[in-house]
């Protein structure tokens, strides 16, 4: 979980990182560029680069630890519904969101 400079949200919750380029709209992907920076900084979640989809189970508990309500951008660095993300993992994320209805 990170603080963010994105003006319309307070936190990002990246339980999945990585993606696949599937269209011309992916040519200038901000998440791919940011992944390169985070990888160079030695941030563990980005060590495998952008082209490998990785889910991070250890991040699932984070919303339970945020005491004050937050406006959260879920998966700013990936496609939560990527074909390589198991449906069971997606369901866990939605269960956690439902249990943390103090957050938006």
Q: What is the pTM of this model?
A: 0.86
Cα 92 from Cα 44, distance rounded (Å)? 22
Task: Work out the pLDDT band at 1, boundaries 50, 70, 90.
Answer: very low
Domain that holds residue 55: 2-99
Range with the lowest mean pLDDT among 1-15, 39-53, 58-72, 89-103? 1-15
Asked if residue 97 has pLDDT above 70, the reply is yes
| Average of per-residue pLDDT across 69-97 | 96
Per residue in 55-65, pLDDT tens?
999 999 999 99
- Residue 33: which H helix or E strand, with range? helix 30-40
Inside any domain, residue 104: no
Q: Among candidates 53, 32, 56, 33, which has minimal Cα distance to 44?
A: 56
Q: For the chain, how many structural domains are there in total?
A: 1
- What does the longest C-alpha to C-alpha distance in the chain come to? 41
């Amino acid at each position: 979980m990170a603080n963010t400079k994105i003006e319309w949200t307070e936190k990002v919750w990246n339980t999945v990182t990585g993606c696949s380029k599937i269209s011309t709209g992916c040519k200038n992907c901000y998440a791919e560029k940011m992944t390169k920076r985070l990888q160079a900084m030695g941030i563990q979640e980005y060590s495998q680069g952008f082209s490998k989809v990785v889910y991070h189970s250890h991040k699932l508990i984070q919303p339970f630890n945020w005491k004050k309500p937050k406006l959260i951008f879920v998966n700013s660095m990936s496609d939560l519904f990527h074909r390589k993300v198991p449906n069971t993992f997606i369901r866990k994320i939605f269960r956690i969101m439902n249990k943390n209805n103090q957050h938006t």
